[in-house]
């Protein structure tokens, strides 16, 4: 088997963040609909793993770009990159919001896992109680949850646009294929 070329890494890697991030949003909706907060916890973990994997996928795309001939698809590649960076950035923002939202639950877990952080976590907890006291209420205001879910839907739409444009680059323009044969083969069918 020949070694994997750098241009082949991006299509291998990209499926993981897509699956993780889409499933995270789906679990959030299911958690709200069924009022099963364990699903929201699972969605958090998927987001924790999905955002860094999306960053890695972005990096692999930039590396792949150095090894391809774009030809007439230059503008399409540009839009693909804008959509990918936008989707990844928005999912990154959602992760930051989620971690701040969960900070009151995270601080005690960190102290239990790493006892030496007790003073640091106590200071962070006090600062957060002053800055965002609503996080410590039993239930977040509905508007906060609605806004978060709206941003999640926008991120999913951006992710879908990114995937569509990436598919168009490969299947319509033959970008990153050894000889551009895929569009010719699809036309022949």
Q: What are the pLDDT digits (tens) for 30-77?
A: 999 998 989 999 999 999 999 999 999 999 999 888 877 777 788 898
Q: Is residue 110 scored above 90 in pLDDT?
A: no
- Copy the structure tokens of residue 138: 């039993």
Question: How much of the chain is helix, strand and coil, in % rounded to 5?
Answer: 85, 0, 15
Q: How far apart are CA 34 and CA 120, in angstroms?
A: 36
Reduce the DSSP state of residue 69 to 3 states and report it: coil
Q: How far apart are CA 176 and CA 68, in angstroms?
A: 6
Q: Is residue 6 scored above 60 in pLDDT?
A: yes
- Copy the structure tokens of residue 78: 């540009």
Task: Yes or no: say if 57 and 149 are a contact pair by the CB < 8 Å rule.
Answer: no
Residue bearing tokens 């923002």: 93
Q: Is residue 187 scored above 70 in pLDDT?
A: no
Q: How far apart are CA 171 and CA 175, in angstroms?
A: 8
**Which pLDDT value is given to residue 161?**
97
pLDDT digit string, tens, across residues 122-179:
998 899 889 988 888 778 789 999 999 999 999 999 999 999 999 888 888 777 766 5
Q: How far apart are CA 31 and CA 33, in angstroms?
A: 6
Alpha helices in the chain (DSSP H): 6-13, 15-34, 37-65, 74-113, 118-131, 142-171, 181-188
3-state secondary structure 111-145: HHHCHHHHHHHHHHHHHHHHHCHHHHCCCCCHHHH
Taking residues 99-125, report their average pLDDT. Answer: 89
- Taking the domains of the chain in order of start, what are their residue ranges? 6-188
Q: Name every residue whose Cβ is closer than 8 Å to that of residue 104 and which is 6 or more positions away in sequence.
A: 125, 128, 135, 136
């Amino acid at each position: 088997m020949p070694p994997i070329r750098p241009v082949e890494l991006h299509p291998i890697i990209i499926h993981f963040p897509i699956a993780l991030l889409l499933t995270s949003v789906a679990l959030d909706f299911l958690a709200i609909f069924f009022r099963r907060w364990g699903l929201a916890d699972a969605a958090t973990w998927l987001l924790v793993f999905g955002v860094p994997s999306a960053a890695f996928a972005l990096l692999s795309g930039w590396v792949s770009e150095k090894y391809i001939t774009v030809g007439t698809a230059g503008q399409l590649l540009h839009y693909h990159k804008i959509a990918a960076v936008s989707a990844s950035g928005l999912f990154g923002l959602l992760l930051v919001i989620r971690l701040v939202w969960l900070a009151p639950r995270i601080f005690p877990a960190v102290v239990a896992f790493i006892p030496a952080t007790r003073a640091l976590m106590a200071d962070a907890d006090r600062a957060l109680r002053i800055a965002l006291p609503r996080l410590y209420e039993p239930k977040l205001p509905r508007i906060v949850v609605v806004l978060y879910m709206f941003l999640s839907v926008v991120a999913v739409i951006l992710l879908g646009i990114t995937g569509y444009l990436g598919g168009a680059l490969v299947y319509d323009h033959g970008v990153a294929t050894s000889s551009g044969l895929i569009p010719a083969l699809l036309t022949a069918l």
